[in-house]
Amino acid sequence: MTRRVIVAANWKMNGDLALVDSMLLGLKDLESSNVEVIICPSFPYLSELNQKIKAANLNEIIHVGAQTVSKFFDGAHTGEVSTNMLNDLSIKYVIVGHSERRSVYNETSEQVASKVHAVLKAGLSPILCIGETEEERSSGKIESVLMSQIQPVIDEIGIKNFSDVIISYEPVWAIGTGNPASSAMAQETHYFIRQLIAKQCDQVAANISLLYGGSVNAANCEELFAQPDIDGGLIGGASLQAEQFKIICSAAKGK
């Protein structure tokens, strides 16, 4: 089975209606290929972006994702957004466990696992973010940190269902710093992640899509995506610029 190649844009708390329009204008002649392109804006723009993608007949090429979601289906959870609400808007992807959610909003790996479970139960596709801090890397804790972020999800949903998860490795020290991991370093860590999963199921490990995130841009994307265990990227700052993001999408190739 050929692994899915994915390029996802995480706009974070950036962008506006003007960016929705300029991005779609910039991507309107993006060639259809085996690359799945996903744009994840803030909640207020999900519906607008989805409608404009359909109106521009780009829905076979560009998909819409949310940046987080509640683990609860409904109820007294002021400010939260549920999976059934995302389904109402025909949103199919959800970023879960981004380092900013973990560090700023104190989401634990167990809470992240519950969110992944809720996303899968709703028939959506989770993009699970994992990654170590600079201090954890320098102290030789990379492998233990990544295991501590992956294993609770496997324990929650089971290894077979883990095949429906997309993983994005985002070293925290590289996010938004302009200092990405080298292609060799990124490949080494992606290989470790795939082997970690292979210890529980070879087939899941072989087929799961592993993305790299952390200061990916038009200049370094081709070298990163050429690595055998990197199946695309989760893009931050560069995804706010249509020209750069188009180059990144075009650089992703099939595995």
Active-site residues: which are they?
A: 98, 170
* CB proximity list for 55: less than 8 A, separation 6 or greater: none
CA angle (128 as vertex; 193, 216 as ends), nearest 5:
80
Cβ(132)–Cβ(172) below 8 Å: yes
Q: How many CA atoms lie within 13 A of 160 on its CB side?
A: 0
Q: Name residue 127's beta-bridge partners.
A: 95, 166
Q: Record the tokens describing residue 114, joined without a space.
A: 């519950």
- Based on the number of CB atoms within 10 Å of its own CB, is 65 exposed (0-12), middle (13-18) or buried (19 or more)? buried
